[in-house]
Amino acid sequence: MAASSRADLYASRYPVLVLRNVVLLPGHAATIAVASPEGQRAVDFARRQEAALAVVVYADGRAPNMLTPQVGTLARIAEVVPQPDQRWQVRVEGLRRVRVLSLDVTSPAPQARIELLFPPVTPQAHTMAQRVRTLAGELHRAVGIPDAETLRVLEATEDPDRLADLLAGQLVRDVSYRQRLLELVEPNERLEHLAALIERELARVAAPSAPAVPAASTRLSAEPVIVADETSEAREEAERLRQRLATCGAPPAVVERVEQEIERLSRMSPASAEATVTRTYIETVLSVPWLTETPETVDLARARAILERDHYGLERVKERLLEELAVRALTNGRASRSTVLCFVGPPGVGKTSLARSIAEALGRRFVTVSLGGVRDEAEIRGHRRTYLGAYPGRIVEALRRAGTRNPVILLDELDKLATDYRGDPAAALLEVLDPEQNKQFVDHYLDVPVDLSGVLFIATANSLAPLPRPLRDRLEAIVLEGYSEEEKREIGKRYLLPRQLAAHGLPETAVELTDSAWQELITGYTREAGVRELERQLAALCRKMAREVVERGGTVGTLSRRRVTPATLRRLLGPPPYREMTATSEPQVGLALGLGATPVGGMLVPVEVLVMPGRGELLVTGQAGEVLQESARAALSWVRAHAARLGISADFVERMDIHVHLPEGALPKEGPSAGLALVVALVSALSARPVRSDLALTGEITLRGRVLPVGDLRQKALAVQRAGLRELVAPAANQVEASRLPASLARRLTVHWVETIEQALELALLPHRNDA
């Protein structure tokens, strides 16, 4: 049938999926294995555009070069599940008949120009629908087809068009026959042929030894025998699934459960919605690697070589990992049952790449499970099959992707888990990570035990603080702190710059940064604990240079080595966004440099104090948290108690107001470690003695004048280095951590270990300006 000009005028373009052996009828769902790149591109295009998909069948093997329009089905994509063999398992739901006017299979995603078909419904169709309902009931009582569920739907369906398609999907399996029914647009015609088909089958069942009763006058030939076709296909599918079940190595309890599901499936119509759900469940269970295991090899020399190859510095972390691998070697691959390593540190310090290196050293497959933003418990434990669109949880999906029962699974961004009315995913992880429970982990979708004891779980987090206490107790935290400037320079030279040069099509010898350029790039263009921003700046530099090469008409082969200096950086990248604080800055009264720690590394926290006439009020601003405000009140109390010794008028509180401000008010600040800086700034403001500008302070204070230890000293020391300062005042109780400071930092930074506030004041305060 040729397309009319009206049809051509109102035609629409849709991505098209060309099938060879599946006819999708409107109102029916089908699960299709899509292996061809063209088909996968069409599915991907429709899914990304949230568009419908035209499904067309070519049952006779013709090439999809259409000479005449063909009837197909407009469908909605319900689910796409990638399979280990590179196929996609796509579930589509038929919406309505369409006439495909033209087909373009040359574009990246095959597309079709279609015309929507609107089946006419006549009084004769309603009469025929009632007759077909009666015949379907007789057929169900005779041979059990259609099933009881479909029969109930038929009784409740008043639309003859929908009734015809629903029944055709149940009764007809032959591809050519289904396609011919699809091409019959008028419901009355379809119902007539279905009635004739049912009458023929009823006659055959009533007299199986008699010759077949001829069908009513019809344009459809070679009508299939309903029961034989349905039963044969179901039997063959059940046999295939049983063969896979026998070889998958599943435990007896799983085999028994899947055998029950296969038996149920064999009694269903293959085209029914319930059969699709059951078939998907069985396929999912069979795709779990119940028996497949990757042999583990533990070679400490090889492991050390891999760690050294992929990571610079991090010596303490590498030693801890080698110790873990040594234990696995002595226990035949079974490390301490309670060990779940958790890499904790700022972004960009190498947490994920360390986990990947461990998997490579062990010879295991590596899978990442991203937990950032997960707030539904079912994402971990899976959705129960009673829910529409149910699927397994992320842990089972990770096992399926790995294809082995003992992969290394990285639980990435563990501290970014959230909680809402759908449950607590952090609590669900307790069962996953507990060696006493994960041998019998039950995913809600599978509803059978899965043994996770062979999995090596590794987690990453920026901070352990957001994690619930029970979850923290199951983790062994390995802290990855920020890099020093020297470490960043070496990482940039060895890893980042070569990688960016290759990514931008430049030879490895095209760019050479001078030492001063590296220093400028690290301190002036980045302010981070890791190296991600450094890599982004190197990428920007490579882009600028690639553009210069192309604009000058040069090629990679003619490119000579380019020497990059700080002046070159400023010309290509613009002025440095970060200003380095140096020791030449003017010392000021009432300004002390404190230190803080954040999930992205240490940071400098200036503390400003201003005194003015008033009545003794203390005001703290700059998004100071409750603990920090308490530290400010404790600092003021200590100053009041020792005012005479400090040369401050004893009645200053009665005639002065004090304002403490922490700049960069957009950033919340919390913690007691700024106590020492608060005392120094207060004494400076009240005594008019300037504070040294080349020195930073950290330490918690007590009302007795003691300086207590603080956390994250290494991060804070690196922040001092990034700020260009050369001296640090820290609690003497933290001196045991001096060995953790990088050697290059220890050489350049002078640390004063103090036990009392008086010792810190002697180091930080300069004489009065008029005495200088």
Binding residues for ATP: 345-352
For residue 716, indicate whether it is catalytic.
yes
Q: Which residue has the tokens 């019959």?
A: 184
Whether the Cβ atoms of residue 649 and residue 570 lie closer than 8 Å to each other: no
Looking at 266, 357, 669, 716, which residue is catalytic?
716
Q: How many CB atoms lie within 10 A of CB 120?
A: 10
Rounded distance between C-alpha atoms, residue 193 and residue 182, angstroms: 12
Residue ranges of the annotated binding site are: 345-352
Phi-psi region at 24: left, alpha or beta (left = phi > 0; alpha = psi -120 to 50): beta
For residue 673, indicate whether it is catalytic.
yes
φ, ψ of residue 460 to 5 degrees: the values are -130, 150
Whether the Cβ atoms of residue 523 and residue 724 lie closer than 8 Å to each other: yes
Of 117, 110, 28, the closest CA to residue 69 belongs to 117
Rounded distance between C-alpha atoms, residue 361 and residue 5, angstroms: 67
Q: Give Cβ neighbours of residue 209 (< 8 Å, ≥ 6 apart).
A: none
Whether the Cβ atoms of residue 268 and residue 234 lie closer than 8 Å to each other: yes
φ, ψ of residue 245 to 5 degrees: the values are -65, -40
SS (H, E, C) 295-318: CCCCCHHHHHHHHHHHCCCCHHHH
- What is the DSSP pairing of strand 70-82 with strand 29-34? unpaired
- What is the DSSP pairing of strand 12-19 with strand 111-116? antiparallel
Looking at 631, 673, 684, 693, which residue is catalytic?
673
- What is the DSSP pairing of strand 29-34 with strand 53-57? unpaired
Whether the Cβ atoms of residue 135 and residue 216 lie closer than 8 Å to each other: no
The DSSP line for 614-645 is: SSS-EEEESSB-HHHHHHHHHHHHHHHHTTTT
Rounded distance between C-alpha atoms, residue 304 and residue 317, angstroms: 12
Whether the Cβ atoms of residue 421 and residue 375 lie closer than 8 Å to each other: no
Q: Give Cβ neighbours of residue 399 (< 8 Å, ≥ 6 apart).
A: 288, 289, 367, 405, 407, 450, 455
**In the structure encoding, which two tokens stand for residue 569, read together?**
């950086």
**Exposed / middle / buried, residue 729 (Cβ in 10 Å: 0-12, 13-18, 19+):** buried
- What is the DSSP pairing of strand 476-479 with strand 341-344? parallel
Residues classed as catalytic: 673, 716
